[in-house]
A and B are shown apart, each in its own frame.
Chain A
Amino acid sequence: MKYWKIWSLFMLALAVVACSKDDTPSEEQNDSFNREAMLVNWADNIIIPSYTSLDVSLDNLQSETAIFVTTPTLGGLIEVRNAWENSYVAFQNVSMFEIGKAEELNYRNRLNVYPTNTSEIEGFIADGNYDLSLPSTIDAQGFPALDYLLFGLADTDEEILAFYTTNPNAEGYRMYLSALTETMATLTNTVLTDWTTNFRASFVANTSSSATGSVDKLANDYILYYEKSLRAGKVGIPAGVFSSDPLPQNVEGFYKRDISKKLLTTSITASKNFFNGKTFNGSATGPSFKTYLDFLNTIKNEGDLSTLINTQFDVALTEVNGLENNFVNQINTDNSKMLTTYDELQRNVILLKVDMLQALDINVDFVDTDGD
């Protein structure tokens, strides 16, 4: 009898010890929402398909460029331009996912720093010597650099084509075009491959509530993108919100000129779709911020926060719809519409960055640098 008592006590003690060993309170989840299911929905139904679509577009851009570089013709130039536009639109769907390999490679800044630095580009082409992996060259590559090379070199298509045919350094221009498209395709391929072979598994497994958990990190990346790249980059900065005068030369797609609205609409829609967990290029929705907020029964001003956010996305899209395709024109003729658009985008910054993060118990991990 005695031994039995001692033995059960001993087992109990072991069990207690075993249980406490498993307890890592600072790393476990704080609520019972199924974070893994959300991460799986994000990775498999949104992120990887979006990157795959971009990867295909950029491969196409690279092959059209290869054809054009071999035999530059006006028809070939138009093919390259179309491939560029399709890729630029596809890029808007992935730009917010600056996590994992993309973060490591400074991916968004390798593909979309604007305004592009035309004198640096011309210098590189004249010199024939450049290293696009150097941080200082991010403003001489990517979509904006291609924008310049395809639409900005001259006023007419014939004059632009001449840079690639009869210009004394036509070879330099052709080589640079190739280098740019090759770089963009390679980088994207690297990011996609990392997702499909390596990163997806660790991403969906990292369900912790700490700042290094996947949900925390991607939430921060998402909001940083929305605030800085979308709201400020595409609208606020060109409209002069952060400067004494508007800066129309800082619009996205400056040289093609009539693409800015399409890029903005795509990025807002992508942000909204991600919020709702909507499958890329599909209609199904899965777990995402919306379902998480609803799970937590998050109310603001007596309404669901998720509904408020979605409504605000729609208000912003309506506002954008009233803009011209050509933002330079819009700014120069009626900038107040750009400012109204900015204000509507800004309202969701508050709802996402303050209200949503608070509800999800996520801390903001990015700060405004003090501009030094």
Chain B
Amino acid sequence: MKKLLFTALSATIILTSCSSDDDSGTINNDVTAPATYTFERNNHSTVSFGGQTTRILMAEEIVSAFNDFDNTTQTSLQNMFAHVEGANDFDTAALNASDKSVRSKVAASQDFFNANATEATIIKNTFDGYIAGQVNEVFPNQNTAAAPGTAGQIADGTRTRYVNSNGLEFNQAFAKGLLGALMTDQMLNNYLGTAVLDEANNRENNDNDITDGDNPYTAMEHKWDEAYGYLYGTAANEANPNLTIGDDDSFLNEYTGRVNSDPDFNTIATEIFDAFKLGRAAIVAKNYEVRDAQAAIIRQKVSEVIAIRGIYYLQQGKNKIADGNQTASFHALSEAYGFVYSLRFTRDSQSNTSLFSRSEVDTLLGQLVNEEANGFWTVTPETIDAVSEAIAAKFDFTVAQAATTE
């Protein structure tokens, strides 16, 4: 009898543990995501991410100003970057009135930079340096043809590109680097992390539906929305953003859309949006396991967007060089440079560190831009392939898959 009981017990335990293992891939007990990102409490929408929308709009104006040779100065551009409330830095009045600043949230995530002010400062200074470089190196050479070691103009079909002495476009380095250092870092390493979501009494308050002051949302709900806002903050339809994914900004939204148009990755936009919806629904359902599982999905997928797009531009650039046209590669390589820079802000969901360390990223950047050899003027297809392979190695897609969108 005892033996039978024991066997039955063991069997039950084994069966139970087995089923737990089965469930671990699909933890979805009792949480249903709505069709769109719509959440209400007492008939009031609880969704809010205005600060993120503001920073995306500020970033758009900043990047445009990089090529305003007639009006932009180092001061005006730096002031847009590190905006102070009320200062007349932008064309849009609402941005001038805002107390938000882009620079203050660059390399400012809780998880990566709360205890790393040294690196955070270096990163912010790097962006300051792009601004200074554009105005002090490139602007004076507006009407000079670029050459190895000389900033100036490059022909790119009917477009004119303005590069520094290494063939790098500062506006691309800034824009594609900001995509990582601001939008990605804040999303993956700040707002989706438990240090922020579960800060102070957030859990308890969320469990008890205690909202944040006069706002209709709990603090936790709001943090999750702020992550959402860095990808969909300027979407035409905020609750159903995938209708126009790729068209809504020049940062994460644009490139999520681009990667999604590649047949090799054409579920990524849905996967990210579904994870955002389900995670937010999980917060409402007070199911933090489901919430964190969605955060892990978003971290993985957004990291992939950056890596895939970086490899894409690297290979586009490489093809031009292989074709005998070194300068035709500079625009693609400049974009790639920013995406490689952004790898620092990706997130390994398992280890809670970035997928690429500071030194790994710096090594890759140094291979692309060899300062001793005028950077892009001498970079070879072999080097570009090596960098591409190094990036792809950390994921389960290939360089070939990322290299084309056909």
Interface residues of A (CB under 8 A from B): 103-104, 106, 109, 113, 131, 133-136, 138-139, 211-212, 217, 364-365, 367, 369-370, 372
Q: Which residue of A lies closest to B325 (CB)?
A: A103
Is B393 part of the contact surface with A, judged by Cβ < 8 Å?
A: no
From B153, B159, B335, B405, A367 is in contact (CB under 8 Å) with B405
Is there contact, CB below 8 Å, between A370 and B145? no
Is B322 part of the contact surface with A, judged by Cβ < 8 Å?
A: yes
Is B252 part of the contact surface with A, judged by Cβ < 8 Å?
A: no
Is there contact, CB below 8 Å, between A133 and B258? no
Output the least CB separation between A117 and chain B (Å): 12
Is there contact, CB below 8 Å, between A134 and B143? yes
> Can you offer 5 A-B residue contacts whose CB atoms are under 8 A?
A106-B155, A138-B160, A212-B322, A365-B323, A370-B258
- Tell me which residues across on chain B come within 8 A of A211, comparing CB atoms: 319, 322-323
Is there contact, CB below 8 Å, between A136 and B153? yes
A106 to B153, CA, bound (A): 13
- Tell me which residues across on chain B come within 8 A of A370, comparing CB atoms: 254, 258
From A103, A104, A138, A212, B158 is in contact (CB under 8 Å) with A138
Question: Which 6 pairs, one residue from A and one from B, show the smallest C-beta to C-beta distance?
Answer: A135-B155, A135-B160, A136-B160, A135-B153, A106-B155, A109-B158
Is B189 part of the contact surface with A, judged by Cβ < 8 Å?
A: no
A365 to B322, CA, bound (A): 12
A212 to B322, CA, bound (A): 8
Given contacts A369-B331, A370-B258, 8 further A-B contacts (CB under 8 A): A109-B155, A135-B145, A135-B154, A135-B160, A139-B158, A365-B323, A367-B316, A367-B404
Proximity string of chain B (228-269) to chain A, C-beta cutoff 8 Å, 1 when within and 0 when not? 000000000000000000000010001000100000000000
Is there contact, CB below 8 Å, between B143 and A136? yes
A91 to B96, CA, bound (A): 51
Is there contact, CB below 8 Å, between A131 and B154? no
Is B372 part of the contact surface with A, judged by Cβ < 8 Å?
A: no
In terms of DSSP, what is the predominant structure of the interface of chain B?
A: mixed
Is B25 part of the contact surface with A, judged by Cβ < 8 Å?
A: no
- Tell me which residues across on chain A come within 8 A of B323, comparing CB atoms: 211-212, 217, 365
Q: A134-B145, A136-B153 are in contact. Are A365 and B158 (CB under 8 A)?
A: no
Output the least CB separation between B278 and chain A (Å): 30
A215 to B325, CA, bound (A): 18
Q: Which residue of A lies closest to B406 (CB)?
A: A364
- List residues of B (150-173) whose CB comes within 8 Å of A's CBs: 153-161, 172
Output the least CB separation between A107 and chain B (Å): 11
- Tell me which residues across on chain A come within 8 A of B154, comparing CB atoms: 135
A90 to B199, CA, bound (A): 73
Q: Which residue of B lies closest to A113 (CB)?
A: B158
Q: Which residue of A lies closest to B320 (CB)?
A: A365
Output the least CB separation between B203 and chain A (Å): 42
Output the least CB separation between B152 and chain A (Å): 9
- Tell me which residues across on chain B come within 8 A of A139, comparing CB atoms: 158
Question: Which of A103, A131, A136, A139 counts the most B-chain CB atoms under 10 A from its CB?
Answer: A136
- List residues of B (121-151) whose CB comes within 8 Å of A's CBs: 142-145
Is there contact, CB below 8 Å, between A134 and B250? no
- Tell me which residues across on chain B come within 8 A of A134, comparing CB atoms: 143-145, 153, 160
A364 to B142, CA, bound (A): 34
Is there contact, CB below 8 Å, between B316 and A109? no
Q: Which residue of A lies closest to B324 (CB)?
A: A212
Is there contact, CB below 8 Å, between B319 and A365? yes
Q: Which residue of A lies closest to B142 (CB)?
A: A136
From A109, A131, A138, A369, B143 is in contact (CB under 8 Å) with A131
Proximity string of chain B (312-331) to chain A, C-beta cutoff 8 Å, 1 when within and 0 when not? 00001001001111000001
